[in-house]
Homo-oligomer: A and B are copies of this chain.
Amino acid sequence: MKTYLDCYPCFLRQALEASRTVGTTEAQQYQLVKQVLQELLQLDTDCTPPEIAQTIHRLVRTQMGVDDPYARLKALSTERALALYPRIEALVQEADDPITCAVRQAIAGNVIDFAQADTANRVDDLWASVQETLRQPFAVDHVHALAEALDASSEVLFLGDNAGETVFDRLLIETLDVPTRYVVKGEPIINDATAADAREAGLDRVAEIVSNGSDAPGTLLSDCLPAFVQTFHSAPLIIAKGQANYETLSNTPAPIFFLLKVKCPVIAKDMDLAVGSVVCKRSEAYVERPRSIQRSI
């Protein structure tokens, strides 16, 4: 049995925060909290954190009668990140090693995550948060291996994460200059980017935006559209952003590089890293795709 008991308090907090973002009354919040407690009681013991999140946030959306509780915060995050674009672009242009610099920026953008506590403060002072992450040494640095894989690859499947972070991903995609499909969620879940959020960040100018059809965080392949699953299984190279993609794909045999900032103790323990770590990690379940599959894309 592997239960993610540490996630239970966290999801209870998330539900409460989500309901407050849409301006609920205290009585409504109380009803929601009771329903979340009921839902947590009924969870299967082998439910993973992204599955729990999917269940809880579906409940939040239904109970609040709001399709996208984080819509305003997502728009604000994208706006704030776009305002920084000239600055982060200049950093990459001036860098001795533009790919490493752009990878760092893409990880720095991962601080925008409303699943975590206190994110509002980080978005309020996004530039300071980004600079702080840019100064950190990598806890896992597989950037060189990523650059080699990029050289050998005809295209990239880029699994996005949060709105706002999308802007930093756009800079990385521009820098890599390899044909890219940018994967977004099929329905709103926390502040994860949907197709509309990705377009607001200008990702349609640099990549083909593809929906995975799911409303779970990360990439729960069992919950994704068959067409997306096929794309996933034939992709020659996958860049996966954020904790939830790591949680859902770290054991999946595929050519994945994970780019993320470690933000919670559960992931930190799993990765044997400290909270706050900056990570560019070649998957331990990395497999190169045979050429025949690559050609079929």
Contacts and interface: CB of A to CB of B under 8 A. Distances in A.
A67 interface: no
Interface stretch (A35-43, A69-77, A157-165, A190-198): A35-43
B8 A27 contact: no
Contacts of A29: 3, 5
Contacts of A9: 9-10, 12-13, 16
A26 interface: yes
Interface in A254-269: none
A9 B27 CA distance: 17
Nearest to A6: B16
B8 A12 contact: yes
Interface residues of A, number: 22
A5 B33 contact: yes
A30 B12 contact: no
A45 interface: yes
A90 interface: no
A12 B293 CA distance: 48
A34 interface: yes
A188 to B, nearest CB: 22
A198 to B, nearest CB: 31
Contacts of A152: none
Given A9-B10, A10-B9, A37-B41, A3 B30 contact: yes
Contacts of A37: 8, 37, 40-41
A93 to B, nearest CB: 39
B16 A30 contact: no
Interface string A20-53: 0000001101100110011011000100000000
A27 B2 CA distance: 9
A5 B1 contact: no
Contacts of A41: 34, 37-38, 41
B40 A26 contact: no
A26 B3 contact: yes
A210 to B, nearest CB: 35
Going nearest first, the 5 A-B pairs with the smallest beta carbon separation are A9-B9, A9-B12, A9-B13, A37-B41, A37-B37
